[in-house]
Amino acid sequence: MSSVSISDVARRAGVSRATVSRVLNGSTEALVTQGTRTLVRQAVEDLGYHPSAIARGLAGKPMNTVGIILAYELPSVTTDPFLSPVLDGILAVSKRERQKTIIFVEDNWEDAFASLPVYCDGHCDGLVLVAPCTDSQIVGALQSGRTPFVLIGDSREMPGIAVADIDNVAAARLAVGHLLAQGHRRIAALCGNRELLSSHQRLQGYTEALAEWNVPQDNSLILPGQYWEASGSERARLLMELPIGQRPTALFCQNERIAVGALEGLLSLGIRVPQEVSIIGIGDYPAMIGATPALTTVHIPLRKVGERAVEMLLSHVQQSPEREERTILTGWLIERGSTAPPVCDIS
């Protein structure tokens, strides 16, 4: 294939390499005669020439490559209900914009931090960090470098840092607000990984919703944990050990994996959902659509987040004048079968 270089083309066309380059890069169309132009084109065609991305990279041109960094310890990256749509969005826009996509998978953000030099070794024009740990040093390190980057799922306000994320506070407020509107007053919060910002934001949404409805917050109903099914079922079971009066009548699960786990936990205890306890999650993950009863949830446009992240990154890379700094997308409530008004406990 390649191995035919610009010099070969130049020789064949009887011109200099510079001219070939000019024809190919079409800079200011007028700089080359129509004649030599076609001459060069012909030579390119004959030889099957294609420029080396590496060489032009070295010469200062963009590599047309975006790097995606994600930390994931489990064996399957593609089936994570959060990552999966985000990746799809990223890949879709990358393709549309004719960008190559390098996927860097690390076990955790410490490893990712250690690999920073690799991400910035010239291969990529810019980076997308998917849901970095709040306490990772990576963002700071990246800031003092020259590689443009965009954060997904870490929307703290930081001056000059580009972010694409969903509005976690609003999503949680929507979910908890729905429960409150149905009459629930004892609502447990099953939180996600505390090292992820989303978890704090969703807890804040919970707090805000309660405040809005003038319902006092009972901290014993706020349970830390992980964004996983097992963590959900475990906590759901735990809550059901409470004396009946102190039991929550509804569970606000910070994502849908927790919700699925919680549902399973309750059902295994013979507790009926939503008749005895309501469950709501955040995510609307396609993989969880089969749950019975179907889970009421807040849909969050994750694919869109992935899309916007790449779009923002490219606008940074290309130094567009109107580059956006923050894209925060909002979700919407989807009522299904796992929530209902509480039976007797409208206190």
Partner DNA sequence: TTGTAAGCGTTATCAC
Partner DNA sequence: GTGATAACGCTTACAA
Q: How far is CA 127 from the centre of its chain?
A: 13
Rounded Cα gap, residues 239 and 270, in angstroms: 14
Partner that binds at residue 60, options a second copy, DNA, none, CB closer than 5 to 8 Å by kind:
DNA
Residues 144-173 that bind a second copy (CB under 8 A): 144-147
- Given a second copy, DNA, none, residue 61, with its beta carbon under 5 to 8 Å by kind, binds DNA
Q: How many positions of this chain bind a second copy (CB under 8 A)?
A: 51
Is 71 buried (19+), middle (13-18) or exposed (0-12) by CB count in 10 A?
Answer: buried
173 binds DNA (CB under 7 A): no
The amino acid sitting at 218 is: D
* For a second copy, the closer CB: 3 or 34: 3
Pick what 14 binds: a second copy, DNA, none; C-beta below 5 to 8 Å, kind-dependent: DNA
52 backbone φψ class: left, alpha, beta (φ>0; ψ -120 to 50): beta
Binding partner at 144 among a second copy, DNA, none, C-beta below 5 to 8 Å by kind: a second copy
- Smallest gap from residue 45 Cβ to DNA (A): 15
DSSP state of 318: T
Neighbours of 193 (CB within 10 A): 19
Site string for DNA, 12-31 (x = CB under 7 A): --xxxxxx-xx-xx-x--xx
Question: Does 119 help bind DNA (rule: CB under 7 A)?
Answer: no
Give the nearer residue to a second copy in terms of CB position, either 79 or 137: 79
**Taking CB within 5 to 8 Å according to partner kind, which of DNA, a second copy, none is near residue 95?**
a second copy
Beta strands 65-71 and 100-106, pairing class: parallel
Q: Does 195 bind a second copy (CB under 8 A)?
A: no
Tell me the C-alpha distance between 86 and 74, whole Å. Answer: 17
Entry field: residues in the chain: 347
Q: What is the binding site for a second copy (CB under 8 A)?
A: 1-3, 50-55, 57-58, 63, 65, 75-79, 83-85, 87-88, 91-92, 94-95, 100-106, 116-118, 120-123, 141-142, 144-147, 286-287, 290, 303
Binding residues for DNA, per CB under 7 A? 3, 5-7, 14-19, 21-22, 24-25, 27, 30-33, 35-37, 49-52, 55-56, 58-61
